[in-house]
Amino acid sequence: MLTSLTSNLTLNHSHDHARSIFHNLPQTSNMSILPRESLLEYPNLCTVNSQPGFFMSGLQSLATFEPGQLITHLTGLTKSPEKTWSSVQCGVEDHIELNSVFVFMNHSCAPTAIIDLGSPNRSEWHIRALQKINPGDELTFFYPSTEWDSPQPFDCRCQAQNCIGYYRGSKYLSRQEVENRGYISPWVLHLMHERDASGLEQILRVGV
Give this prediction's pTM: 0.81
| Domain regions of the chain by residue span | 8-201
Q: pLDDT 10s per residue in the chain (208 long)? A: 333 333 333 444 444 444 444 445 555 444 455 567 789 999 999 999 877 656 668 999 999 999 999 999 999 999 999 999 999 999 999 999 999 999 999 999 999 999 999 999 999 999 999 999 999 999 999 999 999 999 999 999 999 999 999 999 999 999 999 999 999 999 999 999 999 998 765 555 544 4
- CATH 2.60.40.10 matches 8-201: no
Query: Mind spelling out the 3-state secondary structure of the chain?
Result: CCCCCCCHHHHHCHHHHHHHHHHHCCECCCCCCCCHHHCECCCCCEEEECCCCCCCCEEEECCCECCCCEEEECCCCEECCCCCCCCEECCCCCEEECCEHHHHCEECCCCCEEEECCCCCHHHCEEEECCCECCCCECEECHHHCCCCCCCCEECCCCCCCCCCEECCHHHCCHHHHHCCCCCCHHHHHHHHHHHHHCCHHHHCCCC
